[in-house]
Structure 1
Amino acid sequence: MLVPLGRSLMRAEEPVLRAHGLTMWAYSVLLALREQGARTQAALAARIGADKTRLIPVLDDLQDRGLIERRPDPADRRVRLLSITVEGRRLAERAQTEIQRNEEQVLGKLPPSERAVFLRALRTLADAVRE
């Protein structure tokens, strides 16, 4: 049940992300940094479920575009802290707004009371798999 729903939602997200010049991984990075603030590359990778070495080209691209910053960690200068820029935050918010509009087309098939229960259950499951 979840796989077809997930695929349907991803198909709705991909054109939006492409229009904003983002991949799914880049979008995940921006959302995580927007929600959590400055993070190490390892912590970010763990948060979004990615291999930290595979994120390097994604981070390079986001930094080159001025969407994230990397700066030395004052506690350990070998470590870089990642943070989202103002432009990165704006882009993430624009993309998320469009994606949510597309998601509403799917969720709109549920009565409001069922939608609220469904979204609450999804949040619970999403939080559980992140732990």
Structure 2
Amino acid sequence: METAGGDRAPERLRSTASWLITHTATHAGRLVAEAFAGIGARRYHYALLSALDEFGPASQAALGRRCGIDRSDVVAAINELAADGFVVRSPDPADRRRNVITVTEAGLRQLERGYRAVEAVQDELLAPLSAGERRELVRLLRLVYDGVS
């Protein structure tokens, strides 16, 4: 990876996993943000819709914990998703002070659009790798992620 000025970064940096992960993640984040903007979404929307699809209805607090999103950011993202008809809020029958969030059919369609956008980004980001290398990279990154989360 070259720096913004077109110069190659020093080998000392390029041989450090944390530097490589940080700079690759920054680039990946830009690609994902651009792809989501193209479908009128954001990263948090995709994460929340993914969690709702996989695990079912949940409280805002549970969604935030599951997706690693700050409570105030969850509220804002849920507000946006609800305004677009992608989720509905309903009182939790077990605790009326809490809302349960449920994904709608429109939300599942948006999730599918998001999935296609993310897949296109994976293809662009990981173009230098073979299919096997991609699987191995994801496997190794999951090991690191699981070790720190």
Contact 2:82 2:89 in 1 (8 A): yes
Question: Could you tell me the percent identity over the aligned residues?
Answer: 30
User: 2:132 pairs with 110, 113, 117, which one?
Assistant: 113
Structure 2, gaps ≥5 residues long? 1-19
Bigger radius of gyration: 2
Q: Find the residue that maps to 1:69 and give its secondary structure.
A: strand
User: 1:53 pairs with 47, 72, 80, which one?
Assistant: 72
Please state how far the C-alpha of 1:67 moved relative to its aligned partner. Answer: 0.3
Please state how far the C-alpha of 1:50 moved relative to its aligned partner. Answer: 1.8
Counterpart AA for 2:67? I
Taking structure 2 as the reference length, the TM-score comes to 0.78
Aligned to 1:100: 119
Correspondences of 1:53-92 after superposition (within 5 Å): 53-92=72-111
Deviations 1:36-75 (CA, angstroms, capped at 9, x unpaired): 2111111111112122133222211111110011111121
The separation in 2 between residues aligned to 1:128 and 1:97, in whole angstroms, is 29
The separation in 1 between residues aligned to 2:73 and 2:137, in whole angstroms, is 33
Structure 1 stretch displaced more, 87-96 or 110-119: 110-119
Aligned to 1:24: 43
Contact 1:40 1:79 in 2 (8 A): yes
Q: Find the residue that maps to 1:12 and give its secondary structure.
A: helix
Q: Find the residue that maps to 2:72 and give its secondary structure.
A: coil
Q: Find the residue that maps to 2:85 and give its secondary structure.
A: coil
User: 2:28 pairs with 1, 9, 22, which one?
Assistant: 9
The separation in 1 between residues aligned to 2:141 and 2:44, in whole angstroms, is 20
Structure 1, gaps ≥5 residues long? none
Contact 2:36 2:117 in 1 (8 A): no
Taking structure 1 as the reference length, the TM-score comes to 0.87
Q: Find the residue that maps to 1:21 and give its secondary structure.
A: coil
1:124 equivalent to 2:135? Answer no
Q: Higher relative contact order by CA 8 Å / sep ≥ 6: 1 or 2?
A: 1
Counterpart AA for 1:97? R
